[in-house]
Structure 1
Amino acid sequence: MATPWSTWLNMCPQSSTTLCVLLIACSCVVSTTIGYDGSMMNALNILPSYTDYFSLTTGTLALNTSSIWLGSAISGLFYGKVTDRWGRRPALFWSAVLTAIAVVIQAAAQNIGMFLAARILIGVGTGASTLAGSVYLAETLPYGWRVWGLGILYDFYYVGGLLSAGITYGTASMGSTWAWRIPSALQGLFSIICILLLPFLPESPRWLAYQGRNEEALEVVALTHANGDREDPIVLAQYREIVETLEWEKSAGETLSLLQTVKTPSSRKRMILSTSVAVIACLSGNNIVSFYLGSMLDNAGITDSTTQLEINIILNVWCLVIALVGTWAITILGRKKMAVISAGLLTVFLFMVGAMTKVYGTSSNTSGIYGTVAAIFLFQGSYSFGWTPLSTLYPPEVLNYSIRSNGMGVYTVVTNAVGLMVTMAFPYALDAIGWKTYMINGAWDVLQFVFVLYYWVETAGKTLEEIDEVIDGTKHSDVPNITMVIEGVAVVNDAAENGSIHRRIKDSTTVATKEV
């Protein structure tokens, strides 16, 4: 009789390329939903049919927009434990189900309370999906796919943003509440796609190995790396590296608890690195553009709602292209250098936005007004170039298995707590001090730039297990690094749990074989 595992295995594609593409597609719908939501709320905040229906004030406008952050922060408090206990794949499934249900409630909202409750639930679902999706991809994708897989994960934020911008532009002329209900309802489409794809995908091999299901873990590594070939040298190296590192973590007393995230100096450094991404991603000034573009354009001197919606569409296309270029650039520059470049550029352009808003915001100088819009595009492009792909690439990389899920839970809480704060505060700041808001934010960005420059570590060119050497000073497995196997410098030719591992180490003059 077939087991659930064998059934899932038979449903999985046997082509590694196809399987990796499906893994990325399934996880990317998470960020597509979030991007769709951000762009949708940007557009809805411009539409009179939405603002008049709920009789929004500055306070309720900020509350409706930012409530999704509250829901996402809540998910971070408990969903790391769910992901560790039940697996990455089921965790992603149930978060997608919750998001789909919440979207229906939002589209059917009859009053501000119902709309607000739906948005909090959407936040719980998308926050849980981001947590589970990033962990799932980091642990399941092969070494060579990780940058593109995790980088594109959040690049698709702008795919959702573009779709939403186009849809809301099309429904804006409707004279009823359907102008905002239709975009709200279509937000659930991405969660449905995720639910439909998951039956064809395997569980994380690292989660399986931690549960003692080593044969299944080896099978998944073979499927994702070598079209199911269990004897492939790269498969053998990656599998043994996973098993040995997890065995070391268990023997060292590392547990899957929230306390473990701050228990050791190594864990604390990893948490500082991962949560710094959360803070920088939310406090760089990007949230102003993401949710209050209308207010920014009002301050810049562009008040026509149709023009604002058109700029919203163009901005999302621009950011998507730049984010994809940035993801490609990370494969060349690495994580730290990319972060430094992005942080430096966005700081310069945010100061420029503030200065030009001050000079031209209340003037009739058309060139100056559109120059301000150009500065907004340059700022958002600088952010998208680095921080969009790094937001889901760097955090799960620097967290080892024992703290990866709970660490991403903390990351989710910090991201959304900071996001909630700034999303609530920026409308009041823009109303009260206008262009000075950008100057204050720019001064903070200078501090972020210095922190990344001096504290971050580089993780490029390493598997998740090999990153331990960068942070801990030692690798917790005797298996040669995966790049050595790929280049043919080293060979692992036994994957049995208790078998020997042979490495063939080559230099310019000799070939030595040793047993470890």
Structure 2
Amino acid sequence: MLKKSPTGTWLPAWVPESTNTLAVLLMFCSVVQSTTGGYDGSMLNGLNILPSYTDYFHLNAATTGLNTASVFIGGFFGPIAAGPMTDRLGRRPALFWGCLITIVGIILQTAAQNIAMFVVARIILGFGQGITSVAGAVYLAETFASRWRAWGVGLLNDFYYVGALIAAGITLGTGQWQSTWAWRVPSLFQAIFSLIGIIILPFVPESPRWLVHEGHFEEARLVVAQTNANGDLANPVVLTVYKEIVDTLEWEKKEGRTMSPKEIVKTPAARRRMLIGMSAGPFSCVAGNIIASYYLGQELDTAGITDSLDQLKANVVLNVWCLGCALGGTHLVAKWGRKPTALLSEALLVICLFIIGGLSKIYADSPDTASKSLIYGDVAVMFLFQGFYSIAWTPLLLLYPSEVMNYSIRANGLAFSQFSLNALAVLLVFVMPIGIENIGWKMYIVNGSWDIVIIVLIAVYWVETKGRTLEEMDAIFEGEKHSAVPDVEAVRLGKETVDATVLEQEVSTATKQAAVKME
């Protein structure tokens, strides 16, 4: 059964009464960006292998990098617009416009007649993805029940490999076509994910935190009930979560916190939140996966796998492996914690990069006499590297920033994280094919050295966010929680009890006081 849920925006919602059904819809609605992004990376991997694509555009190392990296130019500017859009229009409307812009870019990319048109199309596509990545992560983090947040937001980026796997299969199927449709069909199919996202939006509610901030208190309480207790407004967990949100956002307003982008650097606590949270973007970008994500063909060339059909098959297998590792990593993030999972993953990446660099050097020194075992060993470690990357960075890329940052800086802070990621990606995706062509195996050694620095930074500065609601993070960064209710997980597990009657009265009083102050 569907129940109309007021959203406070022009985009209406009819929401399932079942919390579990709603959780599934929330996840599918918000995987749009990662599925589209994963599809894009894998598709370009495949296209960069296809003669029908490279010959059509007469590509060399520089123009290959430009065609591939141009999506990050749009991704560079998209987050700048995403923060204000997400805060002012609402989380769901921002997702809608991001999806629509993405579809426009995909249509232009499919119809590209030259490099200039292809690049412009990919800039528009990247701009749309930049908006949906920020809006999707903020929306999902704020709307999911805290006990499911790690899986909900983690899966948002895990679906990168679902898109990548679909793209790998499609480019493998069209790879033998002797026309430009060998690359145009995979390009056009990319639009289906954004279209699905638009179709699902009317069946999920608005973020309860956005609703409270905008003064829609009863609507926010209804959403909390829908996402936690099958719509039961009197459930103790619902009352606790709602009271915690109202109290914390009221405290932020009392402290003069605004939704301005300047807020991310206004106070020492905000600067600390921003620097720790946004680090996930740049750290994941420089970890080394860009080589295999966009230039698998050239990476396999350095290992002696040069047949284009074999490279396309490897692309399919790689994405199946990475999807499994990402799902396993999400389980670790939820059960073990964010920080230890990141440290484990990064340490394994360093080991793999140095091994890949060493094996690639041996092959480069004598490619004619290299044994098959050397080649297969190099490819195996490349696959291990991508899997180890997926364990932590796939789920944490959007989960960790959205958890660390408080409401007033969440959208703009996450936008800055994505901005930083795309700024680095523009450079690295363009430089990687040139670097591989000129210094070969040494690129892996350089990347491994960067990752050692990242391990130290994570160990020293990251905080653990497991087991806390978004409001309870204040105890870490502000020194205290700004609501008198017990921690939500303690109430849910029965470790703490609340008097529903008393809490109902407190909720009513807090809501009235907050409403009066907004008038």
Give distance in 2, aligned partners of 1:152 and 1:230.
28
Q: CA deviation at 1:5?
A: 4.5
Deviates further, 485-494 or 108-117: 485-494
TM-score (structure 1 length as normaliser)? 0.95
CA pair 10-456 structure 1, distance change in 2 beyond 3 A:
closer
Give distance in 2, aligned partners of 1:282 and 1:106.
24
Query: What are the equivalent positions in structure 2 for 1:335-484 lying under 5 Å apart?
Result: 335-361=338-364, 362=367, 363-484=369-490
Give distance in 2, aligned partners of 1:63 and 1:10.
41
Q: Deviations over 1:289-311 (max 9, x none)?
A: 10011111111111110000010
Contact 2:330 2:391 in 1 (8 A): yes
Give distance in 1, aligned partners of 2:13 and 2:431.
51
Alignment equivalent of 2:323, drawn from 303, 320, 340? 320
Aligned length: 500
Q: CA deviation at 1:469?
A: 0.6
The answer on 1:32 being equivalent to 2:18 is no
Report the residue type matching 1:170 in the other structure: G
The answer on 1:230 being equivalent to 2:233 is yes
Give distance in 1, aligned partners of 2:474 and 2:286.
29
Alignment equivalent of 1:491, drawn from 490, 495, 498? 498
Report the residue type matching 1:447 in the other structure: V
CA pair 171-285 structure 1, distance change in 2 beyond 3 A:
same
Alignment equivalent of 2:278, drawn from 271, 275, 279? 275
Deviates further, 24-33 or 162-171: 24-33
Q: CA deviation at 1:9?
A: 7.3
Report the residue type matching 1:420 in the other structure: V
The answer on 1:306 being equivalent to 2:325 is no
Q: CA deviation at 1:29?
A: 2.1
Q: CA deviation at 1:111?
A: 1.1
- SS, match of residue 161 in structure 2: helix
Q: CA RMSD in A?
A: 1.5
CA pair 91-170 structure 1, distance change in 2 beyond 3 A:
same
Give distance in 1, aligned partners of 2:114 and 2:427.
24
CA pair 225-3 structure 1, distance change in 2 beyond 3 A:
closer
Equivalent residue, structure 2, for 1:512? none
Q: CA deviation at 1:500?
A: 6.5
- SS, match of residue 395 in structure 1: helix
- SS, match of residue 483 in structure 1: helix
Give distance in 1, aligned partners of 2:7 and 2:462.
40
In percent, how many aligned pairs have the same letter?
Answer: 51
Q: CA deviation at 1:359?
A: 0.8
Report the residue type matching 2:161 in the other structure: Y
The answer on 1:161 being equivalent to 2:164 is yes
Alignment equivalent of 1:68, drawn from 65, 71, 85? 71
Equivalent residue, structure 1, for 2:516? none
- SS, match of residue 259 in structure 1: helix
Contact 1:8 1:202 in 2 (8 A): no
Alignment equivalent of 2:211, drawn from 193, 199, 208? 208
Contact 2:11 2:92 in 1 (8 A): no
Q: Deviations over 1:451-493 (max 9, x none)?
A: 1011100000000000111122211111110122112222152
Deviating runs (4+, > 4 A) in structure 1?
Answer: 2-10, 496-501
- SS, match of residue 31 in structure 2: helix
Q: Deviations over 1:224-252 (max 9, x none)?
A: 11111000000000000000000000000
Give distance in 2, aligned partners of 1:227 and 1:303.
55
Contact 1:356 1:372 in 2 (8 A): yes
CA pair 260-355 structure 1, distance change in 2 beyond 3 A:
same
- SS, match of residue 12 in structure 1: strand
Give distance in 2, aligned partners of 1:148 and 1:209.
24
Equivalent residue, structure 2, for 1:507? none
Contact 2:13 2:204 in 1 (8 A): no
Unmatched 5+ residue regions in structure 2? Answer: 511-519
Query: What are the equivalent positions in structure 2 for 1:173-184 lying under 5 Å apart?
Result: 173-184=176-187
Contact 1:36 1:161 in 2 (8 A): yes
